[in-house]
Chain A
């Protein structure tokens, strides 16, 4: 009798000990995660802090965490040093055009690849997937040459180099990532819906427009956010195609700014911060869509 009770008490104690160890372990883990998280945001905090310092404070040893007096004028100083208003508008315009182009062209292609039956469907989709794997630099030279010899009525050079067109027209001509992402989603839409619409006399365009698109708003939002972000952050294409300072995007403008203001860290950090804020706001507002997009292409691939 008493031994059974002792065993029970012993088990109870072991259980409680185990629970306590688990709580402690979890506490340590959370502490480490928070420390790691701080390490992740530290460069951003450093960016903010530096952007509000004087040049003298920047080089102070040991470094100070906060400026003595916040130098808010660094922001207008930076903004007026180069045509940043133009850069901002250009980035916004190009990112919006890219987003619209990708949403239209990729959703149409994805619809064909998931809801229509036609010859060469699988090999064609395979070819598209291959272009997903190919490094984009491989097509950099021929694309540049294409735009170099394509006539442009409004450009001073007569061709597309130096205009912003090479930075967005391609977005209206499909894309492997977007098509793949949307196709994954479209495949999950029950065929019966399309079949029912077909029985009612709907043609494929109507099925696309009134069945698939309305049902796919979340994944379209995901694609929109990714496209906007990539276009906003793109550096190599603006650097290659743009010539006039007024046509530069924020990234290309920042790169130019960096070359002209070497060592003027407060201004450089202010510029960097201004360029990342729109993306951070977008990310915080749409975190769900980011996570879904990456997970959808990653796991169901």
Chain B
């Protein structure tokens, strides 16, 4: 009844343990059948040849061996790396600059901020449709603008060298808002006395940015970095809508490759093996990134 009695629930399956089980039941089922469990299932399936119509046959590491000599898969890997290496740092840097600029009070600032967030809430397909039109080779907006400066019209989405950069530009545009919000929240958490003290000291704006703002923002930069990193390995929608990777495979990404192998060609084992390779790459990148944290992230 009283206070001491409530402390009893600490045992392995004391009263609170049973309650916890009840509260966690949906989550535990989800983990088992939809997220954690399937990760292991993917590993098992990746060792088989399975078209879902006939029984799976065990093929050992054949799928992995085949993938590593599959030119399309290697190209998908290269494209995904290129996308990550360009879009993540560039997206973060632009967002950081904008957040610092947006972190001040004047009338109408809310409207300007809204403009930067807008692309975040809209579906990639709608956004990709309009960008497809902007990038369109015949009388698309971009060619009209570049034509005004005397630059000849380009096939932004079908030229193999331009296709990935075009997709990256759209993705950065779309993703800026999320990073800006996180940076703004981080900036607002910096005590204004800290910045005021620096400005009384006469610290020039750039030095103040580099030596005070950026170090204090490193936790936020770290976090947006994780989000962008993981997100960039999953790039699919943009490619699916904007530039289906035909015929040159200039824009094929790993996830597109998985989608195609699994759900168009019904090569479940092959798609699973590609998924695991992606998983390992993301895990390694994330682990290295988390390790690096000690060297550059300052927690107060």
Distance between B67 CB and nearest chain A CB, rounded to angstroms = 14
Residue A211 at the chain B interface, CB threshold 8 Å: no
Asked whether, in the complex, the Cβ of B122 is within 8 Å of the Cβ of A233, the reply is yes
Within the complex, which residue of A116, A134, A240, A298 is in contact with B16, where a contact is CB–CB below 8 Å? A116
Asked whether, in the complex, the Cβ of A276 is within 8 Å of the Cβ of B27, the reply is no
Asked whether, in the complex, the Cβ of A282 is within 8 Å of the Cβ of B275, the reply is no
Known A236-B236, A268-B129, A272-B129; contact A294-B185, beta-carbon cutoff 8 A: yes
Asked whether, in the complex, the Cβ of A201 is within 8 Å of the Cβ of B1, the reply is yes
Distance between B150 CB and nearest chain A CB, rounded to angstroms = 14
Residue of B whose beta carbon sits closest to that of A253: B125
List residues of chain B with CB within 8 A of the CB of A118.
14, 16-17, 20-21
Residue A29 at the chain B interface, CB threshold 8 Å: yes
| A134, A199, A250, A275 interface centre (most CB from chain B within 10 Å) | A134
Asked whether, in the complex, the Cβ of A29 is within 8 Å of the Cβ of B30, the reply is no
Distance between B106 CB and nearest chain A CB, rounded to angstroms = 7
Stretch of B68-76, B81-89, B108-116, B160-168 contacting A (4+ beta carbons < 8 Å): B108-116
Residue A216 at the chain B interface, CB threshold 8 Å: no
List residues of chain B with CB within 8 A of the CB of A233.
122-125
Number of interface residues of B (CB under 8 A): 100
Residue A119 at the chain B interface, CB threshold 8 Å: yes
Within the complex, which residue of B3, B24, B278, B279 is in contact with A199, where a contact is CB–CB below 8 Å? B3
Asked whether, in the complex, the Cβ of A235 is within 8 Å of the Cβ of B33, the reply is no
Interface bits A97-138 vs B (CB < 8 Å: 1, else 0):
000000011101101100011110100100110110111111
Asked whether, in the complex, the Cβ of B114 is within 8 Å of the Cβ of A170, the reply is no
Residue of A whose beta carbon sits closest to that of B131: A43
Asked whether, in the complex, the Cβ of B129 is within 8 Å of the Cβ of A136, the reply is no
Residue B252 at the chain A interface, CB threshold 8 Å: no
Interface bits A30-72 vs B (CB < 8 Å: 1, else 0):
1011101110110110110010000000111111000000000
| A26, A232, A255 interface centre (most CB from chain B within 10 Å) | A255
Asked whether, in the complex, the Cβ of A298 is within 8 Å of the Cβ of B223, the reply is yes
Asked whether, in the complex, the Cβ of A298 is within 8 Å of the Cβ of B182, the reply is yes
Distance, CA A298 to CA B227, complexed state (A): 9
Distance, CA A66 to CA B157, complexed state (A): 26
Asked whether, in the complex, the Cβ of A134 is within 8 Å of the Cβ of B173, the reply is no
Residue B23 at the chain A interface, CB threshold 8 Å: yes
Known A112-B23, A145-B268; contact A127-B36, beta-carbon cutoff 8 A: yes
List residues of chain A with CB within 8 A of the CB of B154.
none
Asked whether, in the complex, the Cβ of B278 is within 8 Å of the Cβ of A63, the reply is no
Distance between A114 CB and nearest chain B CB, rounded to angstroms = 11
Asked whether, in the complex, the Cβ of B126 is within 8 Å of the Cβ of A141, the reply is no
Residue A74 at the chain B interface, CB threshold 8 Å: no
Residue A83 at the chain B interface, CB threshold 8 Å: no
A-B contact count (CB 8 A): 287
Interface bits B155-186 vs A (CB < 8 Å: 1, else 0):
00000000000000000010010100110111
Asked whether, in the complex, the Cβ of B23 is within 8 Å of the Cβ of A295, the reply is no
Distance, CA A145 to CA B266, complexed state (A): 11
Residue B276 at the chain A interface, CB threshold 8 Å: yes
Asked whether, in the complex, the Cβ of B19 is within 8 Å of the Cβ of A203, the reply is yes
Interface bits A236-280 vs B (CB < 8 Å: 1, else 0):
100110000000001100110010000001001101110110011
Known A232-B123, A233-B123; contact A109-B24, beta-carbon cutoff 8 A: yes
15 contacts between A and B (CB under 8 A): A36-B98, A43-B134, A46-B134, A46-B141, A121-B20, A128-B27, A135-B233, A140-B262, A141-B262, A144-B262, A173-B29, A174-B28, A205-B19, A272-B125, A294-B178
Cβ-closest 5 pairs across A and B: A173-B30, A174-B27, A295-B185, A142-B38, A37-B115
Q: Which residues of B are interface residues toward A (Cβ below 8 A)?
A: 1-3, 6, 9-10, 12-14, 16-17, 19-21, 23-24, 26-31, 33-39, 41-42, 45, 52, 98, 101-102, 104, 106, 111-112, 114-119, 121-127, 129-131, 133-134, 136, 138-139, 141, 144, 148, 173, 176, 178, 181-182, 184-186, 189, 219-220, 223-224, 226, 230, 233-234, 236-237, 240-241, 255, 258-259, 262-263, 268, 271-272, 275-276, 278-279, 282-283, 286
